Chain A
């Protein structure tokens, strides 16, 4: 795959894995309204994944479509960032992951909607509005849980503490990112960091929570070096194609 195809693949993998994680809550959320929210956000993510993986397949030019890329790759071929594959844990841990990623994704799509490559810009412009909803919903819950009971506050702190070491990877730039930026399809992710910090800090302040201490970042997802969690996720997501390769209906 060339750089642009890999760039589309990364965007698709982030959305697909986060969508799969969120969908694991379906039927298990603490309240009906939350169940609907998580399932709807999962749908948005899987929809975005369909577009980006479809584009990756077109750019690769070997006849692979979005389904082939989602279901016929193994764990070391996935290029999502480590944050999105982290386990759901309790509701607060899921909200922590959603909060950190949704604000990044919203800023990313806002910027990408203006790039010259209209294939990337169109998907981003389409997704930016729904992503704004995800970011706001996650912030609302961080505030509610953080500034809530002793129990909800302790869980929110623990959730953020688990997820925080995976933040830096979202904004990291490598050769693929630089090539996509030069080609007019990608964006400078480091330029998103100041606005992300501002939004995250504002919500944390309203939640009466401290920003977690800076930790040594954990990297590697973009290069296919994943946590053990992703392999388990794929065994569920890809079960049917693993058991019955090529099955269609």
Chain B
């Protein structure tokens, strides 16, 4: 096994989209915790995320297709996933997709989302929460009062 293999595994995983937010990859979201020559370690975002199994299957398929059938997938709960693990690139992809990325510092942040979200369309901060839960467990529903568009906000977690 060589360093080159872990790079190639990483490149294969970078092509695996999140099944519910296909604009970002499992690497962008911070779901992949470690890449080793014969093992990939992943962690679920939310405990009840229904995409967890689909993500593992998609990663399995990507590894198999890239010639890494021997590489095992392990799941770990600890330390628990945090939105701080979403990469800068991932945050930009979310914004471009129309989802306000979560503020940094999830562990210290208040759940009340006191800082208004930035509208991913017009960048206004004149926004309000419509619903604490949105189309997936990881998102809340917001509305921009400047451009009147509704949008999803990735919850700080």
Question: Which residues of A line the B interface, CB within 8 A?
Answer: 19, 32-33, 36-37, 39-48, 51, 118, 121-123, 125-127, 129-130, 132-133, 136-137, 140
Q: A33-B132, A42-B48, A130-B157 are in contact. List 17 more A-B contacts (CB 8 A).
A: A32-B131, A33-B141, A36-B133, A43-B46, A47-B47, A51-B47, A123-B47, A125-B78, A126-B44, A126-B47, A129-B157, A130-B46, A130-B48, A130-B137, A132-B111, A133-B155, A136-B111
Assembly CA distance A36 to B137 (angstroms):
9
Chain B residues with CB under 8 A of A137:
132-133
**What is the 8 Å Cβ interface bit string for chain B, positions 115-134, against chain A (1 contact, 0 not)?**
00000000000000011111
Q: Are B132's CB and A47's CB within 8 A?
A: no
Question: Which residues of B line the A interface, CB within 8 A?
Answer: 44, 46-50, 77-81, 111-112, 130-137, 141, 155, 157
CB distance from B157 to the nearest CB of A (A): 5
Assembly CA distance A48 to B137 (angstroms):
14
Closest to B130 in A: A33
Q: Are B77's CB and A122's CB within 8 A?
A: yes
The 3 nearest A-B residue pairs measured at CB: A47-B48, A43-B48, A33-B131
Closest to B141 in A: A33
Most chain-B Cβ atoms within 10 A of its Cβ — which of A45, A118, A121, A122?
A122
Closest to B48 in A: A47
Q: Are A36's CB and B135's CB within 8 A?
A: yes
Assembly CA distance A44 to B133 (angstroms):
12
Assembly CA distance A46 to B47 (angstroms):
8
Chain B residues with CB under 8 A of A40:
48, 133, 136-137
CB distance from A53 to the nearest CB of B (A): 13
Assembly CA distance A129 to B111 (angstroms):
9
Assembly CA distance A121 to B103 (angstroms):
26
Assembly CA distance A33 to B139 (angstroms):
12
Q: Are A48's CB and B47's CB within 8 A?
A: yes
Q: Are A136's CB and B78's CB within 8 A?
A: no
Most chain-A Cβ atoms within 10 A of its Cβ — which of B46, B49, B112, B136?
B46
CB distance from B52 to the nearest CB of A (A): 8
Q: Are A125's CB and B79's CB within 8 A?
A: yes
Closest to B155 in A: A133
Q: Are B141's CB and A121's CB within 8 A?
A: no
29 residue pairs of the A-B complex, CB under 8 angstroms, read: A19-B48, A33-B133, A36-B131, A36-B141, A37-B132, A43-B48, A43-B49, A43-B137, A44-B46, A44-B48, A45-B48, A47-B44, A47-B46, A47-B47, A47-B49, A48-B47, A48-B48, A51-B77, A118-B78, A122-B80, A125-B77, A125-B78, A126-B81, A130-B46, A130-B137, A130-B157, A133-B111, A133-B155, A140-B132
CB distance from A29 to the nearest CB of B (A): 11
Assembly CA distance A118 to B80 (angstroms):
12
Q: Are A122's CB and B137's CB within 8 A?
A: no
Assembly CA distance A32 to B157 (angstroms):
23
Assembly CA distance A234 to B94 (angstroms):
41
CB distance from A121 to the nearest CB of B (A): 7
Q: Are A36's CB and B134's CB within 8 A?
A: yes
Most chain-A Cβ atoms within 10 A of its Cβ — which of B44, B48, B111, B155?
B48
